[in-house]
Amino acid sequence: MPSLHWSELIASGGPTLLFLCICFLVTVVLIIERAAYFRARFREIATVQARLRSEQTGNAIARDSLQMLDSPATYVLFEVYPEAHDMAGFDEVKSRAVAEKLPEIERYLGVLATLGTVSPYIGLLGTVFGIIRAFMSLGGGPQGESAISGLNAGIAESLAATAAGLLVAIPATIAFNHFRKRADELVTSIEICASRLKMLLVRGKS
Q: What is the pLDDT of residues 113-137, one digit of tens each?
A: 999 999 999 988 888 877 777 777 6
**2 lies in some domain:** no
Number of structural domains, the chain? 1
Q: Which residues contact 13 (CB under 8 A, 6 or more apart)?
A: 20, 126, 156, 157, 160, 161, 164
Distance of CA 22 to the CA centre of its chain: 16
- According to the model, what pLDDT value does residue 68 have? 56
SS3 content of the chain, % helix, strand, coil (to 5): 85, 0, 15
> What CA–CA distance (Å, rounded) separates 51 from 127?
57
Q: Are 109 and 180 in contact, with CB atoms under 8 Å apart?
A: yes
**5 lies in some domain:** no
Write the pLDDT tens digit of every residue in 54-71. Answer: 755 444 455 555 665 678
The widest CA-to-CA distance across the chain, in whole angstroms, is 95
Sorting pLDDT into bands at 50, 70 and 90, what band is 112?
A: very high
Q: Which domain holds residue 50?
A: 11-205
- Segment 1-22 shows an average pLDDT of 65
> What CA–CA distance (Å, rounded) separates 65 from 43?
15
Q: Name which residue leads in pLDDT, 167 or 70.
A: 167
**53 lies in some domain:** yes
Question: Among 42, 49, 75, which residue's Cα sits nearest to residue 192?
Answer: 49
CA angle at 181 for the pair 36 and 100, rounded to the nearest 5°: 75
**116 lies in some domain:** yes
